[in-house]
Amino acid sequence: MEALINPDVLRWARERASLSTSTLAKSLGTQEDNVLAWEQGKKKPSFNQAMNYARQTYIPFGYLYLPHPPEESLLLPDLRTINGKREHEYSLALRDTIRWAMERQEWYRDYLISQGITENGAVGKFSVSDSAEMIVADIRATLGIPPKPNRGDFDDYFKNLVSTIESAGILVMRNSIVNNNTSRPLRVEEFRGFAISDTLVPVIFINTADCPEARLFTLAHEVSHIWIGCSGVSDGEPASHRAEEILCNAVAAELLTPGREFLSAWDVDIEWQENIPHLTKIFHVSGSVIARRALTFNLITADEYGVFVARKLAEHKARCKDGAPPYSRLQTGRVSKTLAMAVASEALSGRMLLRDAARLIGVKPHKLSEYSKKEFGI
């Protein structure tokens, strides 16, 4: 039985999913010539083939019968500048990740309202016209971060900062794939993070496909977006000319590496890269953050910074993947510890179905009790 679908929608769905005709044909178990013929309207797929086509391209089956490909609006403003150019399209992986985050945000909003909470005072306290110094001072005061914190090592500093941010009612989600689908990776070349500056449930998402050294700056950058009430998808590029990105970069830099202290520690009489190990020990941030701060003070060139960061990313991609964290801890980081704990508590108390909890936090229903005990002691 042939499916009388629209060939234009077939082609749109495949291109939207960033799939070549040969790759899609292999997934469908058919010849590439068949896919090409379907998209050109020369042949019709069977009903089962059309259903499989929809599954492989991540669209509702009914879309294939639309008279025209649907127009999709951006779920969040596009604040990116990649390689000096702004990309005007979000990949399907990025779109689905934003939807995934918003779905969990929506559940947590209802949860907070049920607890009598109606506003997060940190969101939008400042605007793009305010100074980076004012915003940094308020972030430090709100989060309880002293000007010279005892940061510990880099990993501890990052984990503690995430915990501190979440304690202020901001959900921090971290992932390198779409939901739990390892066949759908997120590209750091497309984005490093995004912020949803909701007045009740602000959300920060960090793309962990990026090297660990860069994630700390992204985290601080997205926190800045919350404070100025500006939602959007960012790449954190120093070359950005957007006012909100320039300000958030400046806030993140001052928050992590206070300028006066940084300049006093920088030795101009040695090769610039020789400063990196010493300053990472002082500030307990990564070499990438130090290099970025050096760029803002014109201590290194944009080319030198670009080469340094590209090398760090290449080293991260080539790393050995042994020693990954346990699945339960990985999943908690993906959805945010604050949200995961709330969902687990509601499920174990019987106020929500186990299957609904499993869908939100990615833990199988029969393992939810064990997961909760291991992660939260409940």
Percent of the chain with pLDDT over 70: 95
Query: Do 116 and 142 lie in a common domain?
Result: yes
The pLDDT value given to residue 213: 75
Residues in the chain, pLDDT under 70: 82-88, 147-153, 320-324
pLDDT of residue 100: 96
d(CA 130, CA 77): 21
The pLDDT of residue 356: 95
2 domain-assigned: no
Residue 15's Cβ-count burial label (10 Å; 0-12, 13-18, 19+) is middle
Domain count, the chain: 3
Summarised one tens digit per residue, pLDDT across range 317-358 is: 777 555 567 788 889 999 999 999 999 999 999 999 999 999
Name the strands in the sheet holding 232-234, side by side, starting at the edge strand that comes first in the sequence. Answer: 171-175, 203-207, 193-196, 232-234
pLDDT at 88: 61
Residue identified by tokens 């199988």 is: 364
Q: Are residues 175 and 217 in the same domain?
A: yes
**Token reading at 354:** 């186990």
Question: Among positive and negative, which fits the CA dihedral 330, 334, 337, 343?
Answer: negative
Over residues 217-260, the pLDDT tens digits come to 999 999 999 999 999 999 878 878 889 999 999 999 999 999 99
Residue 207 resides in a domain = yes
Residue 320's pLDDT is 54
Is 85 contained in some domain?
Answer: no
Confidence (pLDDT) at 299: 95
Shared domain for 296 and 336, answered yes or no, is no
Which CA distances in Å does 253 have to 15, 132, 284, 370?
Answer: 38, 9, 13, 40
Name the residue range of residue 353's domain.
Answer: 327-376
Chain-centroid distance of CA 307 in Å reads: 23
Locate 23 and state its tokens. Answer: 């790759």
Report which residue type is found at 66: L
Q: Are residues 119 and 251 in the same domain?
A: yes
Domain annotation covers residue 30: yes
